[in-house]
Structure 1
Amino acid sequence: MDVEKKINQLREELQQHNYNYYVLDKPEISDYDFDIKLKELQELEEKHPEFADENSPTQRVGGAVTKSFATVVHEFRMYSLSNSYSKEELEDWEKRVKKLVDGKVEYVCELKYDGASISLTYENGQLVRAVTRGDGIQGDDVTNNVKTIRSVPLKLKGDFPEKFHIRGEIVLPYEGFAKMNAERVEAGEEPYANPRNTASGSLKLQDSAEVAKRPLDCLLYNITGENINIKSQFESLQKAREWGFKVPDESELKTSTSAVMDYVNYWDVHRHDLPYETDGVVVKVNSFHQQDELGYTAKSPRWAMAYKFKAEQESTKLNKITYQVGRTGAITPVANLEPVQLAGTVVKRASLHNADQIEKLDIREGDTVFVEKGGEIIPKIVGVDFTKRDPDSKLTKYAQTCPECDTELIRNEGEAAHYCPNYNGCPPQINGRIQHYISRKAMDIEGLGGETVNLLVSEKLIANYADLYTLKKEDVLPLERMADKSAENLINGIEKSKEIPFERVLFALGIRYVGETVAKKLAKHYKNIDALEAASEEDLIAIDEIGERIAWSVADFFASEENRRIVERLKNYGLQMQISAEKLANQTNILEGNTFVISGVFEKVSRNELKKMIEDNGGKVSGSISSKTNYLLAGENMGPSKLAKAEKLGTNLISEDQFLKMLK
């Protein structure tokens, strides 16, 4: 047999044995025989590098070293899920779903595994990229590390699409985690806190050979891409199994939320029998067509809901209440606790939210309190054990002055939080604003992190984000742990941020209540910073979906002479302070004042493209028909109830072709 044929034969055999062992859990040969075959393949590949294949089974052992992980923009955004904690919340979600789609609705129930989210990209049946969730818009390329995970197929089998993405969770099974910790303790090292954080941290290890030593697993649950020819979520899970992915068998198809609750109640008890950490159930509308109809909010899909199992709760002593200052000046009270083990981690601090919450629960220093860790990452205090209260305890008096700059705090009418009004002189606000400015979703300045910002501020090299653009390499080189290359990367990263588009610059400014979505809306409406700066509160309120609170905050930001001066400096340093000519060329106002509802399947343009075209031309897209709807854009298989409602309200019904003619 010639060498190439032998190499290919061994690769196929090993891939099949790997699949049998790690995905099906049905090994057909011993570990020893597997290792002998793997060694034979390694030797042949070393002697014949002309037959190298980056997806060979020999690559599973790792060896590639990644010094810094490249940032990759997700082709399809990775949304987070909305959470529910009761049957009533789930039923409310079902009502919203049935209001927006026609026909019978089926639900897929899947266990919610607690690990590190990952997106795998396959082209022509081969793994080409693995990217962490990151902020949902972009993540880190961790391909070398993910290739070492045995349950991730490097090559697929069957009738897979030419290109697609599959999302899932990298997890660390309890058994493997316990073994790892036993070895660490024996070696005199600190044990890891919990499987989830250990799995997440493993993906960012520089040496993939170290990752290969960890018993990580990968459970897949979501296929996305263009032209994948799959009609439902349940079908997609079956297809993924056929192609070689490890897809949990616990998923079930249900026809009502009462059946969903039976599934939830069963797994709330039996989840402890599983080999992995789970913290709830994900419920998805099964039909992909109905998923398209439902669409997304700014943060989450409308067609999915996470039902979280009851949070873990412990009691401990509250030693002291301290106060933190955020970048907007908002004051957050923090409970400093006697350390307590909760949901796999040691908890020493918990959020107290605001003065109202402290008063409502009558929380006092010295109390024994109940601490809970549910859907939130930060633990919270949910009550006080009054049977253990010291009779001499004193009522909590909320802070009157800023803990950082001693300025008297204010509380606006109708708001829960207290604020420090010393916007340009309070250190945590200065630091926080700059850290927000450089963050991933904002200016994404490579080479600049939170610690470096703190150093730059404390060394008085910068006092606001505009000062970043005056920095020189020789300014930053003397900083602690700043090497020549790091200093160069930092200065280059700052320079590159001048290419960031206007809507992200606007978000980066850190105006209160102006998140990503609002920033896009304002950028699109005003086109440039000068027009926005000149806008009055009344002008801003007149914009669709801009409320009084946002309008006041934007007007208040630009009323400050200091803020206007900083914005002017940013403009002079060459930042993008207007929508690019290229983007403007694709935008008009010809649909302004018109609201569209999109329903059905379209031939020439996808639903997402239609939505973008409407918004780019000044129109608005709504999920449901009302008296404010001007047009129902109807495709094939449109639901009869939408049609009936449109006819009843006298809404204009237009086809895909008619819509495209409107734009011409």
Structure 2
Amino acid sequence: MTPKPDNTPEKPVETLTEAEAAAELERLANEIAFHDERYHTEDAPVISDAEYDALRRRNLAIEQRYPDLKRADSPTGSVGAPLAEGFAKVRHAVPMLSLAKAYTDQDVVDFLERAKRFFERDKDFDIAFTAEPKIDGLSASLRYENGVFVQGATRGDGTVGEDITANLRTIADIPHRLKGSGWPEVIEIRGEVYMTYVEFEALKERSTAAGGQDYVNPRNTAAGSLRQKDPAVTASRNLKFFAYAWGYTTADPAPTQYEAVWKFAEWGFQVNPLMVRAKSVDELIAQYRLIEEKRSSLGYDIDGVVYKVDQLELQRRWGFVTGEPRWAIAHKFPAEQATTTVIRIDIQVGRTGTLAPVARLAPVTVGGVVVENVTLHNEDYIKGFDSNGQPIREGRDIRVGDTVVIQRAGDVIPQIVDVVIDKRPQDAMPYDFPHVCPVCGSPATREVNEKTGKEDSRRRCTGELICSAQAVERLRHFVSRGAMDIEGMGAENIDLFFNAGLIDTADDIFTLKDKRVEAQEALAKRREEQARQREAVSGKERKNVRSVDQRNFEGLDKLFAAIDARRKPELDRFIFALGIRHVGDTTAALLARTFSTIEEFIRVGKETAAAEDPHTVFPSINGIGDTVIGALIDFFGNERNDKVLDDLLEHVHPKPYVVNVSADSEVAGKTVVFTGSLEKMTRSEAKAMAERLGAKVAGSVSAKTDLVVAGPGAGSKLKTATELGIEVIDEDAWLERVRGSV
């Protein structure tokens, strides 16, 4: 699933019916999971921080209004995304949490007012705060035992991170042994790994000279550098580290946040010199303005200022809420803007057939990055009105030749925020969005939502399997990191082998080594072309140490080995790799857990597609609604997909999905329903615990339910359980019951 911005106004939470709220929670869970994966795992975000935060706020508001509808895969309280492959897991002794966001001065005023209200009964109360730059890099936690660095990890999902100790040891700012004295027996120093502008530009130059990849921005490059499997590659990137917090420790480093951070400096860490201590809103905002003014001259990326309650005792008293500390907030900077012109508008076709318009711009620098392309989302966005006739950008359409104001939302994603009508050329014509696919010529239509009767904001190619653009995008998705994760078979090689006629559908990937000679010739042709381009730029002839043929053979051997290594993938990865609409990685995991084998998944899928009422066949799965069921019907109801699946399964044998069940579990085999608010664990944690112990977690209460765990705010489900005589216990009783099994 690849969510795209939809300009249909959102219905206010307080007006949602229960059915609408359930559908909206399903949409939000899938969309937030997608964006978590793009940001935290792939280091390639596609929306701004503000847009992402708005999704999470809406999700929380709906859950608070309808607590019984909270999903097993709810993003509430979660941080980050699933871990990348290739690294051992590290469980954080103290979770690495995200921060609440402030976008205006009034948000900061509100933050301080909340603090004062919470502590208003304290006599002679004197609260202080720290303010420091918010570094735009990758969070890391460093464990020191008796002053020696023993383990380092990424934030991961906030609870479990990736062990990147070897890579962190290559960073000069991270001491292998603490200096000075007075450090606790054990302490986890936390901070941000980042890349300076100078190092980023040097890396880009080296990569360009070698014909390598193009790097987008320092933050994503730093994150990718830290996840290298070869520490020598990480070392070559000259990464930096600022220390600003800590996790588990056997003793507080100091009584206050400010003193603790300067202790880190004594122990050999780099700390940010712009951190100050303040007591009033005016002082905090003054530091925000100062840091914002210095931002362009710092030499590294920051995207705001973090305020924290200074006294550690007060931090502990104020506590946490929904995965965030109450005592800290990040005051984000507004996006930087620039003006440029629209040269042309191109249409790209995605793997699900979506026609995605892209504006090609006269190059312009925004926030230190040259921007030449910007997404226009859909045809309504270009027209300046959404499908309900509501204006976008004050109803100003976008035309070729227009002067536009752009900004990098969240300092990452370029977007058009305004059109300068006064500078519009007299001959500029409204853009005529194509009604046929520019790649295959098939009709491109806008679907109508059967429930709402509204037209979808996106136009899609109906060519499906005859559309080469969709075929390429499906293949790219199939081999991607979150799907089959075939190392070395990236977008560039997919394009190369597809255009050479060597792969057409996913099963062709697994017979590619039977076409070794043709593959070698295609690679050699590309390498020769790249070499000619480098010679044309540098004016220097290349000096081959090894022949092109030799390198091609070595590269192919590694690629074929990587392909063979993925012939028995995990079931959830395989289902996700199929590219079924609305089936993201989270939904794929739910399907894998429910059906256990690929054969059972296909059987139920086909029977569901053939049934008059799909609900009589497809089981009730908490977290999967009509949208996903409809997508499965479309997929399994298409005979062409049957052949693709059959051909693929001749070469690929997904492993059964196995849940490890505790042998002495008292709830094994029972159907459990969680309802109301849980206070000692998240709903996702409770569900995972129950399934680990062999229980089945259902979303609704029926005569088949064995046990209901009810927290505060339990509503209709508790009432139904009482009427049916089903055993009902509270959260404490549940934890006591499973204590000997977990």
| Residue pairs, 1:181-330, within 5 angstroms | 216-221=239-244, 223-224=246-247, 234=257, 237=261, 240-241=264-265, 243-248=267-272, 250=274, 264=288, 267-269=291-293, 271=295, 274=298, 276-282=300-306, 294-295=322-323, 306-330=330-354
In the TM superposition, what is the alpha-carbon distance from 1:421 to its structure 2 partner? 2.3
Q: Bigger relative contact order, structure 1 or 2, given CA contacts below 8 A and separation 6+?
A: 2
Of 485, 488, 491, the residue aligned with 1:447 is 488
In the TM superposition, what whole-angstrom CA distance separates every residue of 1:326-361 from its partner, at most 9, and x where no partner exists? 122222111111111111122111111111111113
Deviates more, 1:403-412 or 1:77-86: 77-86
Distance change (3 Å), C-alpha of 1:490 and 1:528: same
How far, CA to CA, are the matches of 1:283 and 1:548 in structure 2? 43
**Matching residue of 2:409:** 374
Matched, 1:487 2:556: yes
The yes-or-no answer on 1:627 pairing with 2:714 is yes
Against the structure 1 CA distance between its residues 544 and 265, is the aligned structure 2 distance closer, same or farther, given a 3 Å change threshold? farther
Amino acid at match of 1:521: L
Change (3 A) 1:207 1:600: closer
What residue in structure 1 maps to residue 87 of structure 2? 72
Q: Deviations over 1:31-72 (max 9, x none)?
A: xxxxxxxxxxxxxxxxxxxxxxxxxxxxxxxxxxxxxx9942
What are the superposed Cα offsets for residues 507-544 of structure 1, whole Å, 9 maximum, x if unpaired? 22222222222222222233333443325353669422
Which string of whole-angstrom CA distances, capped at 9 and with x for unpartnered residues, describes residues 121-149 of structure 1? 656644466677899998796946x5454
Q: What secondary structure does 1:412 align onto? A: strand
1:459 aligns with 2:500: yes
1:265-311 Cα distance to aligned partner (Å, 9 max, x none):
56434545756431223567985798776249xxxx99986543111
Mind listing any 5+ residue stretches in structure 1 that lack a counterpart? 1-68, 632-649
Contact 1:404 1:427 in 2 (8 A): yes
Preserved CA contact (<8 Å) 1:164 1:228:
no
Q: Mark the CA change 1:97 to 1:177 in structure 2 (over 3 Å): closer, same or farther.
A: same
> Partner residue of 2:445?
410
Match of 2:192 among 150, 163, 168: 168
1:72 and 1:131 in contact (8 A); partners too:
no
Matched, 1:592 2:672: yes
Q: 2:554 aligned with 1:532, yes or no?
A: no
Matched residues in 2 for 1:584 and 1:464: separation? 41
Report the counterpart of residue 155 of structure 1 in structure 2: 177
Structure 1 residues 274-283 or 245-254, which shifts more? 245-254
Query: Which secondary structure does the structure 1 equivalent of 2:465 belong to?
Result: coil
The one-letter code matched in structure 1 to 2:713 is S
Tell me the alpha carbon deviations over residues 379-437 of structure 1, each in whole angstroms, 9 at most, x when there is no partner.
11111100111223211111211121111112122422111122212222212222222
Question: Larger deviation: 564-573 or 545-554?
Answer: 564-573
Alignment partner of 1:349 is 2:427:
no
Change (3 A) 1:417 1:372: same
TM-score, normalization: structure 2?
0.61
CA distance in structure 2 between the partners assigned to 1:595 and 1:304 by the alignment:
30
CA distance in 2, matches of 1:618, 1:139: 29
RMSD: 5.1
- Percent identical residues: 32
Contact 2:97–2:323 (CA under 8 A) maintained in structure 1: no
CA shift, 1:118, in A, is 5.2
Partner of 2:641: 563
Match of 2:419 in 1: 384
Which aligned pairs between 1:601-616 and structure 2 lie closer than 5 A?
612-616=688-692
Distance of aligned partners of 1:439 and 1:162 in 2 relative to their CA distance in 1, 3 Å threshold: farther
Q: Cα–Cα, structure 1 residues 198 and 559, in superposed 2: closer, same or farther, change >3 Å?
A: closer
- Residue number in structure 1 paired with 2:736: 658
Equivalent residue of 1:393, what SS? coil
| Alpha-carbon separation, structure 1, partners of 2:256 and 2:585 | 29
Distance 1:511 1:350, change over 3 A: same
Shift of 1:623: 13
How far residue 238 of structure 1 moved from its aligned partner, in angstroms, is 6.6
Structure 2: distance between partners of 1:237 and 1:548 = 51
Matches within 5 A, 1:472-511: 472=513, 475=516, 476-481=519-524, 483-511=552-580
Q: Is the 8 A contact 1:167 1:220 kept in 2?
A: yes
- Residues 157-199 of structure 1 show CA distances to partners (whole Å, capped at 9, x for unaligned) of 554565857451223277x889x79x99xx9xxxx99765776
Kept in 1: contact 2:439–2:467 (CA 8 A): yes
Q: Distance in 2 between matches of 1:254 and 1:589?
A: 57
Q: 1:238 to 1:249 in 2, by over 3 A?
A: same
Q: CA deviation at 1:652?
A: 2.9
SS in 2 for 1:498: coil
Q: Tell whether the 8 Å contact from 1:439 to 1:445 is kept in structure 2 after alignment.
A: yes
Q: Classify 1:119/1:138 alpha carbon distance in 2 versus 1 (closer, same or farther; 3 Å).
A: same
Q: Give 2:416's aligned amino acid.
A: I
Equivalent residues in 2 for 1:116-155, closer than 5 Å: 120=142, 125-127=147-149, 143=166, 147-155=169-177
Which is further off, 323-332 or 126-135? Answer: 126-135
Instruction: For residue 374 of structure 2, give the secondary structure of its aligned residue in structure 1.
Output: strand
8 Å Cα contact 2:265/2:271 also seen in 1: yes
Q: Which amino acid aligns with 2:398?
A: I
Given the two structures, how large is their TM-score scaled by the length of structure 1? 0.68
Deviation, 1:609, is: 6.8
Amino acid in the other structure paired with 2:242: L
5 Å-filtered alignment, 1:41-80, equals 71-76=86-91
Q: Does 1:575 align with 2:653?
A: yes
**Contact 2:189/2:243 (8 A) holds in 1:** no
Distance across 1 between alignment mates of 2:335 and 2:710: 33
State how far apart, in whole Å, the 2-side matches of 1:201 and 1:388 are. 41
Are 1:425 and 2:501 matched, yes or no? no
SS in structure 2 of the partner of residue 483 of structure 1: helix
Letter paired with 2:177: K
| C-alpha displacement of 1:654 | 2.0
Distance 1:576 1:125, change over 3 A: farther
8 A Cα contact 1:173 1:217, kept in partner: no
Whether the 8 Å contact between 2:135 and 2:301 is mirrored in structure 1 is: yes
Deviation at 1:496, TM superposition (A): 1.7
* CA distance in 1: counterparts of 2:499 and 2:642, whole angstroms: 24
Cα distance between partner residues in 2 of 1:108 and 1:659: 44
CA distance in 2, matches of 1:542, 1:439: 30
- Does structure 1 conserve the Cα–Cα contact (< 8 Å) formed by 2:367 and 2:411? no
How far apart, in 1, do the equivalents of 2:569 and 2:327 lie? 32
SS of structure 2 residue aligned to 1:480: helix
Offset, 1:241: 4.9
Residue aligned with 1:575, SS? coil
1-side partners of 2:484 and 2:115: how far apart? 36
Cα contact 2:583–2:628 (8 A) shared by 1:
yes
Structure 2, unaligned runs of 5 or more: 1-83, 210-214, 385-395, 449-453, 525-550, 609-613, 700-708, 719-727
> d(CA) in 1 for partners of 2:399 and 2:634?
36
3-state DSSP of counterpart to 1:599: coil
